[in-house]
């Protein structure tokens, strides 16, 4: 049964569904996110029924909460752009002078601006960082879902702050001390959420505008590296712009039903560069040196 489960769900190549089972702290933190979101929903509904603010605010708040949670699930269970072990660089990439390197941990081709995640144990195309709140890496295929989660969560936090601060401005009194305690707990959660999520949204916008992701920025790989702004269509796909605001799958122009990682590497022998299939004949990425047989992941 365990072998069947491992074959169906995981981050390894060949798994039918992408899910990270290697990060226990990530599973706890992603669960905490749901608890905090649902707690906020309960408080907003309870205070509305108690007369603290209009009941019409409940379905509006619930809508953004629902969209945020759906986006979180899409981020968590979407393959962020794992590079297949047998991938090869495209001919046009080789002709343009893009360096061809291999990952010292995967012993396989590593596309530009990719990083190896030690938690997922895969190289991820355009990896920004591994997010424990999502229990997944943020990469080329799920960055849209992650940004939508941040957007909807920001709206939730601002909406809750507006409800509480409006009551403070008008001198609204609450029916019980329990209601007052819930309201001020919601206020604290909303302020903390707003500050943290706004910072994360800034990081994502910066990564797209400059092409320098969180990992590269922390390692101070600035403009001297092979970086360029990421086209918005590479993040949100070729759907009409109103679809950008919905947690739908990203569609690329080349292959509407495939991931955008096909624009960086290919499995078609006719479209790949004429490079050696022996990994030892290509330079090793400086991110991780090649390991010996006795070495283990840290």
Query: Is 60:98 a contact under the CB 8 Å cutoff?
Result: no
Whole-angstrom Cα distance, residue 105 to residue 116? 8
Query: CA–CA separation, 59 vs 78, rounded Å?
Result: 28
Say if strands 115-117 and 122-124 run parallel, antiparallel, or are unpaired.
antiparallel
Lookup result for tokens 């080349």: 254
Beta 88-89 vs 265-266: how paired, if at all?
A: antiparallel
| Cβ proximity of 37 and 31 under 8 Å | no
Main-chain dihedrals φ then ψ at residue 128, nearest 5 degrees: -90, -50
Active site residue 137: no
DSSP E strands in the chain: the ranges are 9-10, 17-18, 88-89, 101-102, 109-110, 115-117, 122-124, 129-131, 136-138, 265-266
In degrees, to the nearest 5, what angle opens at C-alpha 58 toward C-alphas 52 and 61?
115
Q: Please, is 249 exposed, middle or buried when counting C-beta atoms within 10 Å of its C-beta (0-12, 13-18, 19+)?
A: middle
Determine which one of 120, 123, 131, 137 is catalytic. Answer: 131
* Other CB atoms within 10 Å distance of the CB of residue 269: 8
Which tokens go with 1? Answer: 């049964």
Query: What residues are annotated to the active site?
Result: 131
């Amino acid at each position: 049964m365990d072998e069947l489960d491992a074959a169906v769900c995981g981050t390894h190549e060949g798994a039918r569904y992408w899910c990270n089972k290697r990060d226990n702290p990530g599973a706890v933190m992603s669960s905490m996110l749901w608890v905090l979101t649902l707690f906020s929903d309960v408080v907003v509904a309870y205070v509305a029924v108690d007369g603290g603010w209009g009941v019409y605010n409940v379905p509006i708040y619930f809508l953004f909460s629902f969209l945020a949670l759906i986006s979180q699930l899409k981020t968590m269970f979407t393959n962020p752009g794992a590079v297949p072990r047998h991938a090869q660089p495209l001919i046009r990439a080789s002709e343009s002078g893009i360096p061809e390197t291999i990952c010292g941990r995967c012993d396989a081709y590593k596309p530009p601006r990719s990083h190896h995640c030690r938690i997922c144990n895969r190289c991820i195309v355009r990896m920004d960082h591994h997010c424990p709140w999502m229990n997944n890496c943020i990469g080329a295929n799920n960055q849209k879902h992650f940004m939508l989660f941040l957007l909807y969560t920001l709206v939730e936090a601002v909406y809750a702050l507006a409800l509480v601060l409006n009551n403070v401005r008008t001198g609204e009194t609450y029916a019980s001390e329990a209601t007052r305690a819930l309201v001020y707990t919601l206020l604290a959660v909303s302020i903390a959420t707003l500050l943290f999520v706004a910072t994360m949204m800034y990081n994502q916008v910066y990564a797209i505008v400059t092409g320098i992701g969180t990992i590269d920025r922390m390692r101070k790989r600035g403009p001297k590296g092979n970086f360029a702004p990421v086209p918005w269509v590479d993040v949100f796909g070729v759907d009409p712009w109103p679809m950008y605001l919905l947690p739908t799958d990203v569609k690329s122009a080349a292959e509407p039903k495939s991931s955008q990682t096909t624009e960086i590497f290919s499995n078609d022998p006719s479209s790949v560069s004429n490079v050696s299939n022996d990994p030892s004949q290509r330079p090793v990425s400086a991110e991780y040196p090649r390991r010996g047989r006795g070495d283990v992941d840290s």
